[in-house]
Amino acid sequence: MTGLRERKKEQTRQRIAAVALRLFSERGFEGVTVNEIAEAGEVAKATLFAYFPTKESLVLHGASGDDLAGIVAQRPAGQSFLDALRAHHRMLATAQLPPAVLDALLARVRVIQASPALQAAANGLLYQQRQALAEVLAEEHGPTPAALMAAQIAASLLTLQETYFQRLLDGASPKEAGSALAKNVELAFDLLEHGLNHEEGH
């Protein structure tokens, strides 16, 4: 019974998010009220806020990126933190997203790009992700080196993500964008591992 209840809750959450994304795509984030989303999703406003505590979270749910801190903290003994992160992002780059999932992701990217409020909220999530990574790295490397490492890693991964989505928005096929992403993941982690001078020597 608990499983069924959880499944129904997840279906409701997904329905609300899909309705919100459709309305935001049509009219912009600022042009849609929470009341309109609740009405279109056929839920009470209180129910909507139980699933999504803020209007921004309707778009940004799950958008805080990967759990970089968790990947580093839970890596196998003997594996470097960069190798653990590289392996994770190498796997992501080769994953084939279903067309419907990719379409929804791109719709979210467009909505975020068009809204300063959403961009600010997304930046806040990225900052939290970077801080969490720095805290884990600090246990091995000390606070100042860890903060610098986390900043470089986070900036590199954000650039990979932005380049990938922009390529898709510019009309590249998922296969082309995925192939370019896979190459860029290797380049990004080579630079992180060996430093900027490594690339100058090429």
Residue 17's contacts (CB-CB under 8 Å, 6 or more residues apart) are 52, 58, 61
Q: Dihedrals φ, ψ of 57, to 5°?
A: -65, -20
Query: What residue type is 71 in one-letter code?
Result: I
Q: How far, in Å, CA of 160 to CA of 93, rounded? A: 10
**Tens-binned pLDDT, residue by residue, of the chain (202 aa):** 678 889 999 999 999 999 999 999 999 999 999 999 999 999 999 999 999 999 999 999 866 567 999 999 999 999 999 999 999 999 999 988 899 989 999 999 999 999 999 999 999 999 999 999 999 999 999 999 999 999 999 999 999 999 999 999 999 999 999 999 999 999 999 999 998 775 555 5
Q: Residue 158, Cβ neighbours under 10 Å: how many?
A: 16
- In the prediction, which pLDDT does 65 show? 67
The residue written with tokens 């999530």 in the block is 125
Q: How far, in Å, CA of 185 to CA of 90, rounded? A: 7
Q: How far, in Å, CA of 1 to CA of 152, rounded? A: 46
Question: Which among 99, 100, 67 has a CA at the least distance from the CA of 84?
Answer: 67
Q: How far, in Å, CA of 148 to CA of 133, rounded? A: 11
Alpha helices in 28-75 (DSSP H): 34-40, 45-51, 57-60, 68-73
Q: Residue 73, Cβ neighbours under 10 Å: how many?
A: 16
pTM for the predicted model, two decimal places: 0.87
Kindly list the structural domains of the chain, giving each domain's residue range(s) and its CATH number in brackets, ordered by start.
2-59 (1.10.10.60), 62-200 (1.10.357)
Query: What residue type is 117 in one-letter code?
Result: A
* Tokens coding 154: 């986070």
Q: How far, in Å, CA of 97 to CA of 137, rounded? A: 31
Classify residue 23 by its DSSP letter. H
Give me the torsion for CA of 115, 121, 126, 127, rounded to 10°: 130
- In the prediction, which pLDDT does 64 show? 59
- In the prediction, which pLDDT does 196 show? 74
Handedness of CA 145, 147, 152, 157 (dihedral sign): positive
Q: Residue 45, Cβ neighbours under 10 Å: how many?
A: 13
Q: Residue 155, Cβ neighbours under 10 Å: how many?
A: 14
